[in-house]
Each structure stands twice: as structure tokens, then as C-alpha cells.
Structure 1
Amino acid sequence: MTRHDPILQAVADTPVTPDQSARDPAHPPFILIAIAALATAVGVIALLGRTIAGGARFAFDTNLMLAMREGRNPAIPDGPVWFKQAMVDITALGGGTVLTLAVVLTVGLLVASRHLLTAALVVAGTITGSVAVGLAKLVVGRERPALVDHLVEVGSASFPSGHAANSAIVYLTIALLGIQVMARRSARMFLIGVTLALVAAIGVSRIYLGVHWPSDVLAGWSFGALWALAWWAGAGWLRLHLADRATRAPTAR
């Protein structure tokens, strides 16, 4: 590191906040969890993507999509008019603009609170996850469902659901890394609960609006959750490593 790296120097010089999300921070095999979660995330997308690219179809995809249509009419969504608008509003929370704003605002808050390591991890985890989802869409190239009418405009490939995957990646990564620096257990539990509910609602909205097969959403949820778990575990290992190095460093320079 040189004197021309002020951001990296600031991160290195900032005291490492202990991991508040583990009862015994030294107990979980963080690095093994991170590797296993990343491997499983890639494996889920690779296996399902290969199956779908080979022409496989799932009966539950058709049944669930038609169950969300009035009288199984593919043109009319089930429920009152306000519910359709609510689903449109909820699905926007998983769009690129809102997710980018969520990351920017979170990083700004973390930097202002001097949680520079957490801020850097949030940026790295969300960007790499989004790139991975985009690559999966290009490789598999599944077409959007033609079974029911689309209630919102879509353009990219269907598998995996970008809204489900990216919302899980962004919101869960923010939540899991955030709870590492939150001291109160009740606050940590509230953040995780709200985040899970939000990610679930976004995924369901994609099926209700007719723009994704349920299997697209399930794959997106699985990949995003495992990706976020991997970054939580990796961050826990890094905190232990940096804290241990700080305790071994000489007090005088």
C-alpha cells in the first residue's frame, strides 16, 4: 500500500468492529462456510440452468402461474385492482434503480459511521453478485413465460429471476453484513426478518405479474441467499483475521 491509496489506508487504519452476529465469533468456521455457500450457489444455478436449457419443464411452474389468475384466465390477475398495483410497486423494489440507491445509501451511512470495512464488503458483494446473475441469464437464455399475459414490461432472459436474485443479493448482503456491526440482538432479528419478508414479496410479485416462471424465482432466491451467506461468512473470517493481526502488531512504530 502506498501513500496514493487513501481509501485503502483509511480502511486499514479503522478499528475492526467485532462480529456481533455470532455468539462466539471465534467458533463458526467462517472460511469453510463461505466456500461452501459460494460453491452451492454456483452449483444451483449451473444445475438448474443446464436442466432448463435442455428443454425440461416443471409442472408446478404452470400450476402456480395459473393459480394466480382469475378463473385460470391467463389475461386477468386474481385479486382486486389495488392488489395488482401493490404488486407492481413491490416489484419495483427489486429493480436496478432502487437496488443501486439502497447500496449507495447504505454505503454512505456505513462510511459516515466509520464502518469502512463493512462498506467495502457491501460494495464488493453486491456488484459481483449482480454480475454473476447477468452472466447466468446470458448462458441459459430462457424465454419469458408465454402462458399468461405480462402485466409489466420486460426485456432480458427469464432464468434466473434478476429481481429475485438481485434483491436477495443486495438486501440480504446488506442485512447480514449490517448485523455484524449492530450490538442489539433485537435490532439484528428485526433487520433480518424485514429483509426476508421484502425479498419474498419481490419474488412472488414477479410470478403474479406473469414475467417469471416460479422456478426462475426459486433459483434467484437460492442463489442470492447463498451469495449473501458467503459474504457474511467471508466478512466474519476477515474481521477475525484483521482483529488478530491488530492485537499482534507492536504498539510503537
Structure 2
Amino acid sequence: MTAPLSPLHPALLAEGADARGVVPGDVRHPPWLLISGAALGLTILIVGAVGALIGGGWELAVDRAIMLWTRHGNAHGVPIGPRWVRAAMIDITALGGVTILTLVTAIAVGFLALKRLWLTMLLVIGGTVSGAIAVSIAKLLVARPRPEIIDHLVTVSSASFPSGHATNSAIVYLTLATLIMQIVPGRVVRGYILCTAALLVVAIGCSRVYLGVHWPSDVLTGWGVGALWALMWWAVGAWVRLRRAGRSLLHPGE
């Protein structure tokens, strides 16, 4: 008699097992919907609170200090670091731009469709598209001007808060990472995926400050909002998978 295939067997994944609620056995199952709701609420609270402070004329002294430090304390000074750092920062910042993020998302969606991982594909589309819309709305509502304290090393035109590059890169890369982690077995592999995405997001955010086009508080808020947005969709994805798998949220061990 032939032994049944493991839920994570490549043959089952190729047949769209993702849509049937396959979850690696070593993934823990906390109350996902509660986590999702908390993440969304905290996201709204952060953007609303910081946006209100900025709208009231609030400005952090540390924002100015960090930006001047990147120019050796001179508003029109040369950027810190060797000459190649400037070119590297411009390349890195492009990884958080609309064009690259759209391409990354489209490639990921196409791959998931080919693998018939329909649930993950729909979650990726929902998380990234809704996130981009939320960031655009936040920018319009707060309308914080770009920093003029130091020279800009790249051309920008939109509002400053929150950093679109920092927020959208966190939304795209972290949402992709956390959702893919739900269908990939092995803690080491999942840890590698998450760490790679996080390092990429941090590098993109730092590049925006170095290039003089964002206040550090724009980037920090963007990181926080993007991470919470990814957490929200991660929780939604886990809840749907467990529902499809027929597992109890109250007693996940059963």
C-alpha cells in the first residue's frame, strides 16, 4: 500500500495545496484575527498621532541633527562616506521605488500563479495594493513638505510623510516574506527569508535620509507602518489557512 504524501510534498503544492490550507507542522498558531486587528489599529494610531503632531508644527531636533550629520554638519556639504556610497545609495533607493516594487510584486504573483498557490497570490495582491493606496492617502492628508535643510541628491516631488519608499518597501517585501514563510517548511529557511527582506527594507529607508529627501521620522514611521501592515496580512493569511485546514483557533493543538 502506498504511503500518503506529506502535506508539503512538491506534488501536492504543484496541485494547489496552498488553497487547501496546508501549513507547515512546526508553525505556531496564535489568535491570528486578533493580531491582524491590533496591527491595523496600531497602524492607524501611529499615522494619525504623528501626522497630527507634524500638522501642528512639531519637529524633532534629532531629525535635523541626523540630516546635517550626513553632510558633515554643513547644509551644502559633501555626503559622508567614500564617493561610491552616493552611487550605491541611489541604486538601493531605486529598490523601493514604484517601478521596482511593481515589478517585484508582478513577478511574485506570476510565480505563485504558476505554482497554483492561489491563496498566497490573492493575499499578496490584496496586501500590496491596499498598502499602496493607504500610503497615498496618508501622504495627502498630512502633506508634510520635503526637508530643505540639506541638498537633495535625487529629484522628488511628492509629500514627505510617511516615506513612500520606506513604507511601500516594507509593505511589499515584508508581506511577501511573511506570506511565503507560511508555505515554506523549516525555521532556518523562514528566518533567512524574513531577515533578507528586513535588511533590504532598512537599507532602502536609510538611503532616503542619506539622499536628503526624507526626515528620519518619515522613514521610522514608514518602517513601523509597513511592518504592521505586513503583520496584519500575515495574520489574515494564517487565519484563512487554518480555517481551510479545519483547525480550531482556540485549540490549535487538537
Q: 1:23 maps to what in 2?
A: 27
Q: 1:60 maps to what in 2?
A: 62
Q: 1:47 maps to what in 2?
A: 49
- The number of aligned residues is 233
Deviation at residue 103 of structure 1 after TM alignment: 0.4
Q: 1:34 maps to what in 2?
A: 36
Deviation at residue 91 of structure 1 after TM alignment: 0.2
TM (normalized to structure 1)?
0.88
Q: Which amino acid aligns with 1:215?
A: S
- Quote the Cα distance in structure 2 between the aligned partners of 1:58 and 1:152: 23
Q: What percent of counterpart residues are identical? A: 49
Q: 2:142 maps to what in 1?
A: 140
- Quote the Cα distance in structure 2 between the aligned partners of 1:47 and 1:22: 38
- Flag the 1:21–1:174 CA change in 2: closer, same or farther, 3 A: farther
Q: 1:115 maps to what in 2?
A: 117
Deviation at residue 74 of structure 1 after TM alignment: 3.2
- Quote the Cα distance in structure 2 between the aligned partners of 1:22 and 1:162: 35
Q: What stretches of structure 1 of length at least 5 have no aligned partner?
A: 1-10, 246-253
Q: 1:90 maps to what in 2?
A: 92
Deviation at residue 39 of structure 1 after TM alignment: 0.5
State the SS of the aligned residue for 1:66. Answer: helix
For the 8 Å contact 1:66–1:72, the answer to whether it is kept is yes
- Quote the Cα distance in structure 2 between the aligned partners of 1:21 and 1:193: 21
Q: 1:164 maps to what in 2?
A: 166
TM (normalized to structure 2)?
0.88
Deviation at residue 20 of structure 1 after TM alignment: 3.3
176, 198, 201: which one aligns with 1:199 = 201
For the 8 Å contact 1:20–1:179, the answer to whether it is kept is no
Greater CA drift, 102-111 or 157-166: 102-111
Deviation at residue 18 of structure 1 after TM alignment: 2.6
Q: Which amino acid aligns with 1:142?
A: R
- Alignment deviations for residues 63-111 of structure 1 (CA, whole Å, 9 cap, x no partner): 1111111353434211111000000000000000000011011111111
Q: What stretches of structure 2 of length at least 5 have no aligned partner?
A: 1-14, 248-254
TM-align CA RMSD: 1.8
State the SS of the aligned residue for 2:20. Answer: coil
